Copies of this chain bind each other. A is one copy, B any other.
Amino acid sequence: MKISTKGRYGLRSMIDLAINSSGNTPVFISDIAKRQHLSEKYLEHIFGALHKAGLVRSIRGRKGGYLLQKNPEEITLSEIITALEGKISLVECVLDPDICPSAKKCVTRDLWQGLSDKINEYLSSHTLNDLIQMQKSREQNDTLMYYI
């Protein structure tokens, strides 16, 4: 029961993208990879998935790169994780009861269903903006420390 690197790296990259894009100038994957200490090639894949899910806008060619497609407060963490890891459910049969012949009787399915709902609830109730604000205030506090 772990979040994969795709999900983890992707979320961090979305925060990085939001913080480092000024206006309409796109951000290079290579820059995000450098700042986040990630492989450029692997990050390409991740942004492919984010793009496909409509969370980022891409500009091809020289001086191209990526931009957020929506405002950070309109992007829930659930959307980001779903884009990168698929629909959130702890067991397959929560989404697709047909794969378990005894799904109707199975009490553990109800349990996993309930827990999956909790997880979805949590991730839907936080937006990318929440993380950005946390990040920014944390950085500001770090700076202030030097003046105290």
Residues of A within 8 A of B (CB): 1-4, 7-8, 11-12, 15, 77, 81, 85, 88-92, 105-108, 110-112, 114-115, 118-119, 122-123, 126, 131, 134-135, 138, 142
Contact = CB atoms under 8 A, between A and B. Distances in A.
Contacts of A135: 107
A105 B136 CA distance: 11
A126 B90 CA distance: 17
Contacts of A126: 111
A24 B123 CA distance: 45
B88 A111 contact: no
A105 B3 contact: no
A88 to B, nearest CB: 6
